[in-house]
Structure 1
């Protein structure tokens, strides 16, 4: 993960060196602004030589360097040319490729050196200005990031990584201020990923090949915060102001691990999306996919092959991160809809097909408010005595669990008033949850007939169901669970505690 995070941080900054914050667009003015702007963001940008001729500024041997949480990155671009045009814009081109060197010292792994080559032949960027905002449009036939070499403890590893984007285009703008704000949009026809590595002891190989279509992304925030986003402590400090989205129009990948514990994973999806936001006092992260299919095989699993498909997956998390005396919103979404598994698993569990093989669903949608009690970016504070947050309310917006012909749904809300007990995240709850269960008895009887559940245990489960729920239709039950401020619990008006 350290390697991928470092690679992402490096390549995210470099393709957009042709940016600035000058109101009047000129070649020399842009270059001066780049140096000032990147210096403010902790990036050193220096040219070995600069030559101005006929409205064209040619920069040679442009050196770039910046620090990351666990290392440094340095590189040299042979040439950047900024040409002033008759319409008041500046046309910017650069060398077809340039090299970057990463020197990393991660806390959880051995130090390593990585050599990257970034190639964008035919890249053209056009800069224009209006007021305090400088805007850019860019396009390139392709953008390739190649990991040319990885070396650790003086030994070169057999590793190859290639990331290739085709038909790249986008826009980028920066607005003067303290700090400088940016807004960007990016699109590419396709993305291909090829990774291979061999263990140093010869015990096995790893390969990954993937391809995705209709890539699009957007982001906005401040430039300083964008650079700081690679630092986990900064990301959790509550001080950042960065948000973005990523989508693709379908893709697939295959992962192979050879050796004694060999394994092959193949997966595809119809669409995919991610979004994130580090804004003010909260962090938001989420993603979704549709039409997911995957297959796992190999000696590392106890089955010859496992396959499954999911119509829709989604995950979302919003949490407050700033220490405060006031409560803030939080949310959690987990959705696995339309899950089906292959016959190779069903044949082991239910070879005669007695259990309904309807698609399974798990949906959990929660929201509420909580008060952050400590600085979550401080490891010592997080490991200290007491809970890091105090929950004031929880809303169960939706709960669905469907499996084997049975389905449980519910919704409800709880509030937590008063002081929390020592070591507890919240005070005693008050509220209720409404639950509906259907098809449970039919599923239970099937499991008994198959010998998977003893008859005595099934009878115990049915008795418990009768205590907590009332039957409103054939094999359909409802239950209203209520909790009073004094700690009393009732089910359908009957006190159970």
Structure 2
């Protein structure tokens, strides 16, 4: 999984060795230019100079063109002070407020959110030079609370929506390197333990409310973001073509979440937990990769119309996808992986459909890896180009090759394993009714299937005549294995458009 972390404006504000002397003014100008690169218009009042610069009344405005609206963020004051070694220290009030204002059609504000910010033991330093800034930052604790939500007509009562987030201890570094046409932001940060607490009440329905709270331990992130100095966020294709790219990971060491939602007489409540998890993402003009994994996941919840709680556990769960995005004349790699390993659930759930405990209750696993070669005919970041191709009855790309590995389905005493590979002839769309003609084979091994059928018959879930048909199909497409209740099968697609099962033609 590639390393990924979104560039955090707050982290860069809060943040080694000095590479050259910089002034407080240069440090502030660097941050201002950084935010301008992301499309923000920054305004502030600067007082002082020399060894100390105080920046107040900081506002950052970002337009939302598709909504004909804008968002204005008002930040707390910041003080930049020369540290005496060529670097600059940055300080902020221990208690401050961030105000986010929403406006449409250039009119007065349509809504405003006030966030309270607190910190303890914060230390921030900037070193380097104007084109290569190094940030270091740390804090014993950081906290954010939702103080107020206001519309033009009213201020929501404090008990309608509550939100608090705290974290710490926090420490990290960030490097911002500015070139002739782009800047690169690389950073690593540990957030410590994060605690969150959200609650809401429907002001028009006293019987509707909810809460969500929990902790996340040892959260850490790392990654790199490349930002062109001239960037058009309204045109994704142009934005990535100009060099915008992100590559990051975020990982934690376990967490727990409690939730409770009430709607009239119905209540959904429970607990979610995990032992560890990781999220990864990389995206550029060429391709996108996304991966998510977790270990030791458990869920325990009660839902309406269910007389007992739902209890289940995954030993490991994962999902990843890789997609080429750039138009190409030659095949590019793509992939998809999924894993749900060692799934178990409480006996009360099993007893709904298997009260006699006829079926084995061993942990279940489903997983597969698929690697492919595909050729994009247009950039998948350009919706207009995709629409133009589809309007003419075409497709935005083609599948050239596919490899299946690590296929596993294991549950209730039976198991299916498989692997195979295929190539596709996109000039032949007739043999398989519009689908490119495949050529290759897949090998499958199955065990315990006859035993499972016997148990389903004994439970009354399958009729004897239906089971006979299933066994006949199994006999047609498989050959017996060396061990009892095992079989294997090789399904082949040949160059003549034929399908063979273990050498016998079936199409």
Give your verdict on TM over 0.5. yes
Distance 1:235 1:446 in 2: 59
Alignment of 1:211-360 (within 5 A): 211-223=215-227, 233=236, 240-260=244-264, 261-299=266-304, 302-360=306-364
Q: TM-score, normalised by structure 1?
A: 0.88
Which of 151, 166, 169 is the matching residue for 1:167? 169
SS in 2 for 1:366: strand
Alignment of 1:91-130 (within 5 A): 91-96=89-94, 97-103=96-102, 113-129=112-128
Residue 75 (structure 2) aligns with: 77
The answer to whether the 8 Å contact 2:317/2:340 transfers is yes
Question: Are the structure 2 counterparts of residues 226 and 457 from structure 1 closer, same or farther at C-alpha, using a change threshold of 3 Å?
Answer: farther
Which of 473, 479, 483 is the matching residue for 1:464? 473
Distance 1:215 1:362 in 2: 28
Is 1:447 aligned to 2:456, yes or no?
Answer: yes
Distance 1:35 1:153 in 2: 31
Residue 38 (structure 1) aligns with: 35
Q: 1:93 Cα shift?
A: 0.9
Q: 1:265 Cα shift?
A: 3.1
Distance 1:485 1:354 in 2: 46
Is 1:392 aligned to 2:400, yes or no?
Answer: yes
Distance 1:226 1:407 in 2: 55
Gaps of 5+ in 2: 105-109
Question: Are the structure 2 counterparts of residues 380 and 443 from structure 1 closer, same or farther at C-alpha, using a change threshold of 3 Å?
Answer: same
Q: 1:266 Cα shift?
A: 1.3
Is 1:481 aligned to 2:506, yes or no?
Answer: no
The structure 1 segments of at least 4 consecutive aligned residues displaced by more than 6 Å after TM superposition are 225-229, 422-425
Q: 1:369 Cα shift?
A: 1.1
The answer to whether the 8 Å contact 1:387/1:425 transfers is no
Distance 1:67 1:424 in 2: 49
Q: 1:201 Cα shift?
A: 2.9
The answer to whether the 8 Å contact 2:127/2:133 transfers is yes
Distance 1:24 1:95 in 2: 26
Residue 87 (structure 2) aligns with: 89
SS in 2 for 1:482: strand
The answer to whether the 8 Å contact 1:93/1:124 transfers is yes
SS in 2 for 1:280: coil
Which of 46, 54, 63 is the matching residue for 1:67? 63
Q: 1:222 Cα shift?
A: 1.5
The answer to whether the 8 Å contact 2:139/2:170 transfers is yes
Distance 1:288 1:411 in 2: 23
| Greater shift in the superposed pair: 24-33 or 404-413 | 24-33
Distance 1:138 1:417 in 2: 56
Gaps of 5+ in 1: 1-7, 106-110
The answer to whether the 8 Å contact 2:14/2:137 transfers is no
Question: Are the structure 2 counterparts of residues 101 and 368 from structure 1 closer, same or farther at C-alpha, using a change threshold of 3 Å?
Answer: same
Which of 464, 483, 503 is the matching residue for 1:493? 503
Distance 2:464 2:230 in 1: 60
SS in 2 for 1:336: strand
CA-atom RMSD in angstroms: 3.0
The answer to whether the 8 Å contact 2:400/2:426 transfers is no
Question: Are the structure 2 counterparts of residues 371 and 113 from structure 1 closer, same or farther at C-alpha, using a change threshold of 3 Å?
Answer: farther
Distance 1:310 1:428 in 2: 38
Residue 14 (structure 1) aligns with: 10
Distance 1:226 1:14 in 2: 22
- Describe the superposition over 1:329-384 as per-residue Cα deviations: whole angstroms up to 9, x where unpaired: 11111100000011111111111111000100000111111112344334455553
Distance 1:224 1:205 in 2: 45
SS in 2 for 1:266: strand
Q: TM-score, normalised by structure 2?
A: 0.87
Residue 433 (structure 1) aligns with: 442
Distance 1:172 1:140 in 2: 15
The answer to whether the 8 Å contact 1:149/1:160 transfers is no
Question: Are the structure 2 counterparts of residues 153 and 414 from structure 1 closer, same or farther at C-alpha, using a change threshold of 3 Å?
Answer: farther
The answer to whether the 8 Å contact 1:22/1:30 transfers is no
Q: 1:227 Cα shift?
A: 9.5
Q: 1:237 Cα shift?
A: 5.8
Residue 58 (structure 1) aligns with: 54
